[in-house]
Amino acid sequence: ITWLETECPGIEPVLLDTSGETPELNRFVNIYVGPKGGSTADDIRFLGGLAARVQGDDEVTIIPAIAGGCSDTDSGVSRHIPGEEQRARADALEQRVRDGDPTLTTYILADLEEQFGVTR
């Protein structure tokens, strides 16, 4: 996270909750660590939290948790069903992940910049 903050100033407060005595991972962020190119990765919350060890060939994946819902007074239109454009973007991203696209890191950082106003 320290390195990522040097690459994308302003990302650390998005990832970490510093309101307690020691910094903790923000509850709305998930970080997974696993072997590069491997089919599995583990949530760092189960690997010692921010003290989780990362090996030289490990891949670290940061995913913002997404949640939401509609109140009973909403119009009845579900906000959980993505439109055609969102579905197409999600399908294209999923295919890039399956293909092992090496530009995904750049894509994800650009998405973080757009969503959270973080700059590189």
- Please give the backbone phi and psi of residue 51, each rounded to the nearest 5 degrees, phi first: -90, 5
112 has pLDDT over 70: no
Residues 6+ apart with CB under 8 A from 58: 33, 34, 35, 36
**Helix, strand or coil for residue 39?**
coil
Domains of the chain with bracketed CATH: 2-67+83-116 (3.10.20)
Give the global pTM. 0.53
Q: Taking a C-beta distance cutoff of 8 angstroms, is the pair 8, 111 a contact?
A: no
The string of pLDDT tens digits covering residues 36-60 is 877 788 888 898 888 988 888 888 8
pLDDT in tens, 48-105: 888 988 888 888 888 887 765 555 555 554 444 556 776 777 677 777 777 777 666 6
